Amino acid sequence: MQKLTLALLFLILSSFIPLAWAGSHQFKTGSVLLDDETDDAFQQWIEKIFKAAGLRQYQPHIYVIVNPEVNAAASLGGHIFIYSEFLMKCDNADQFLGVMAHEVGHIAGGHVSRLDAAQNQAIVPAAAAVILGGALALASGSTAPFEAALAGGAHVFERGMLKFSRTQESSADQAALSYLEKLGWPAEGLSEFLDKLGKMYGPSTRVDPYAMTHPLTPDRIQSVHDYIRKHSSKGRSVPFDIESKFQRIKAKMMAFLDPARALATYKATDTSLPSRYARAIAQYRLGQFMPALMQIDSLLKQYPKDPYFHELKGQVLFETGEVDRAVPSLQAASSLRPHSPLIKIMLAHALIERKSSCGSAEAIKILLPLTQKYPQKYPMAWRLLGTAYGKTKQLGEAALALAEEAFLQEDYKAATSQANRAKALLKANPKAQTRAEDLLVQIKNKAGSLAP
């Protein structure tokens, strides 16, 4: 698939945007979604499939892209892209993992590398834009900064959408079925999803995007059915923890992207965890903060060690202006998920905005190691670090952090200005001054390479 993003991170291009945007802002088609909960689960699952396929030379990456159509695609380097609606159309983890195994089959079969060179050249820069462009906060709903960073990557995806042949599709199906069998997972999910697409897009309707890029020929579907008859999946099932995690991720994504749809799908009479989670998020997105907080507190009472319920509570409290109350919730989330950069960035944002005078100093302690570990991945971390330095009167360090952020956002004019300012203010700090000088060289080289 080719366009998605989830998370609780606040990506702002030039100024802090109130989280009140989250209550009504709609995610635009083409937005890439990053979310710690989703990323962690999808990464674990896809790594299992890569291992079954013997793809040890790749580090898999999976991206969810906001799009109302049903599609998925594999690209060079182990990248897999899925449309949000594809996830919504999967009834269970079997179907989702069946299609993911099919995409891995394309990678393992070398189908991607054999495609037209122009198509590959179109996909690679678009993938790079997704990887380097930073994260969009699903909760905050602020898409504009990421769209600027993406710089047309979504359109590149569309133009360079990988279109596989019938032979390649059949080969990927057979490979997927073998991976699923090796993992002990049922193969029926792939078959069910192909049948579902056939029913969704009958002869009287338009051709669906998935069929355009992955031909849904009768012989292909029949081949999958034949395999399942010969290799019974009886007694095989996706582990319970994967199925339950899939259902809550699906509920979470639907609630953030289309809260009205989520409330219609997950009725108040449904007391399952995914339903309660979806309703809490949907109510929050619709500005119904008190009911949302009551639902979240109910979930936390039952699941006090779930980091994502603490994260969501912190998000809602932040948006309603109760920053001091949001901080403990985000600290709890970070403590339970200590390796999550997204939650750390959210916590730092709240610390900077709280009334306590030591908040910015605490934020610096969180953000500084994060920017050193992921210098190109999270522009918002640099933006917040610059703000925190500014609030603590460390103006040279603030200018250098803002120069880093502007460079990642490809705002070379602002980056040059801030780097020069940092260079002038940091004369007593040789290491920082050297970084400012290096950054100016990088800006010159990058800007020069883009000149007509």
The full DSSP string for 40-106 is HHHHHHHHHHHHHHT-TT---EEEEE--SS--EEEEGGGEEEEEHHHHHH--SHHHHHHHHHHHHHH
Total structural domains in the chain?
1
Report the pLDDT value the prediction gives residue 202, as an integer from 0 to 100.
59
Report the pLDDT value the prediction gives residue 331, as an integer from 0 to 100.
97
Instruction: Confirm whether 242 is domain-assigned.
Output: no
Question: Is residue 24 exposed (0-12), middle (13-18) or buried (19+ Cβ within 10 Å)?
Answer: exposed
Instruction: Confirm whether 64 is domain-assigned.
Output: yes
The pLDDT mean for the chain works out to 81
End-to-end CA distance of the chain: 32
Cα separation, 13 vs 150, whole angstroms? 12
Report the pLDDT value the prediction gives residue 31, as an integer from 0 to 100.
74
Cα separation, 388 vs 401, whole angstroms? 10
pTM of the model: 0.84
Cα separation, 329 vs 352, whole angstroms? 15
Q: Which of 336, 338, 332 is nearest to 313 (CA)?
A: 332
Per the CB < 8 A criterion, the answer to whether 124 and 368 are in contact is no
Report the pLDDT value the prediction gives residue 111, as an integer from 0 to 100.
61
Helix (H/G/I), strand (E/B), else coil: 5: strand
**Residue 64: strand pairing partners:** 82
Tokens 């200590």 correspond to what residue? 338
Q: Which residues of the chain have pLDDT under 50?
A: 1-24, 115-161, 204, 451
pLDDT in tens, 14-32: 222 223 334 445 677 777 7
pLDDT in tens, 41-61: 999 999 999 999 999 888 888
Cα separation, 182 vs 48, whole angstroms? 10
Cα separation, 283 vs 317, whole angstroms? 13
* Neighbour count for residue 230 (Cβ, 10 Å): 7
Instruction: Confirm whether 148 is domain-assigned.
Output: yes
Instruction: Confirm whether 192 is domain-assigned.
Output: yes
Per the CB < 8 A criterion, the answer to whether 383 and 362 are in contact is no
Instruction: Confirm whether 421 is domain-assigned.
Output: no
Instruction: Confirm whether 434 is domain-assigned.
Output: no
Stated as kind and residue range, the H or E segment containing 269 is: none
Instruction: Confirm whether 72 is domain-assigned.
Output: yes
The whole domain housing 116 covers: 21-230
Instruction: Confirm whether 449 is domain-assigned.
Output: no
